[in-house]
Amino acid sequence: MTEPVLSVLGCGRWGSFILWYGSRCGMRVTGWEPPGSEPFRSLAERRSTDILDLPGDVELTTDLEYAVDGAGLLAVAVPAQRFRGLAARLSGFDLSGADLVLCMKGLEAGTGMRLSEIASEEGMNTASVSAWVGPGHPQQLVRGVPSCMLVASADPSAAERVASSLGSDLVRFYRSRDLPGCETGAAAKNVIGIAGGILDGLGLTGLKGALMARAPQEIARLVSAIGGDWRSVYGLSHLGDYEATLFSDYSRNRAYGQALAQGGGVEGLAEGVETSRAMERLGARLGVELPITSAVRMILDGELSPESAIEILFGRPEREEFPESF
């Protein structure tokens, strides 16, 4: 039997885990970052991160053409806002034999587009497009703590191939045909993670229950408006990821929101920042009201203080919890 070939583009925290995990699943694995990345240089020299050691059979390169050559699975884990530039480069390669697996969660800030839409617009000629979403912190997974995650694709056979290749005793995969809903829900959970961190920073952690109840309805309205299945929001792509995003000490988005509310320095990537802007732009275009998302975006851009945003949300008119329609 031919050994599956996995190429991982983007070797940050999650990408490095995919390198480790792909090798664990018995694949031949290559990781890529562009030249000049100091963290990647360090990874190549030390063969380890602060949470894992790379298996000896994992290959690392800065040559994109070499990295994708012969790949059956092409896992992309670069920051969402960098994906368009990479997709444009990848459109120049013959990737017709590769299943593209989008492993990051975000919407493009300037357009509100989903990552699969960007792949299509930039002319990537892959065999299929899937999104790998759902709850999972590499810090826990490498210690053997299992998780349930999701592969979403408009092509059911592609989702089955990807899930079969990547499923293991560590990650149990479910499948979904609702790529728009799952991509949007997965991106939006980072915005809600920032909101949860803001509540922590204000000493209002008790309001997370209300946040967990109201936010999915807001996101479900948006998913319905783009033609997705609103039920996906209540599955692994969004609500199922709340524990890892709204409560975990490993959540960068939660930590970002907490630091923001406390007036401290904010370091590192929080995908929810740009996604909040993309979602608000998308909601305005589709006529969908997104009060929590808008509040987060205004706090991030300094238009409202966290305290004022809470007051505005609590000052909204009373309404039925479950209206007859979104």
Cα separation of 282 and 109, whole Å?
10
Instruction: Please list, in sequence order, all residues whose beta carbon lies within 8 angstroms of the beta carbon of residue 67, skipping any fewer than 6 positions away.
Output: 7, 9, 30, 31, 32, 61
Please count the other Cβ atoms lying within 10 Å of the Cβ belonging to residue 171: 19
Cα separation of 136 and 276, whole Å?
22
Tokens found for residue 108: 């493009």
Would you call 208 a catalytic residue per the annotation?
no
Q: Which of 105, 189, 252, 297 is catalytic?
A: 189
In one-letter notation, the amino acid at residue 57 is D
Cα separation of 134 and 320, whole Å?
30
Which 3 state secondary structure label does DSSP give 107? strand
CB 266 within 8 A of CB 260: yes
Name the phi and psi angles at 297, rounded to 5.
Answer: -60, -40
- Sign, CA torsion 7/52/41/109: positive
Quote the Cα angle for 153-155-159, to 5°: 55
* H helix intervals, 91-237: 115-121, 138-141, 156-166, 179-201, 208-225
CB 73 within 8 A of CB 268: no
In one-letter notation, the amino acid at residue 277 is R
**Known catalytic residues?**
189
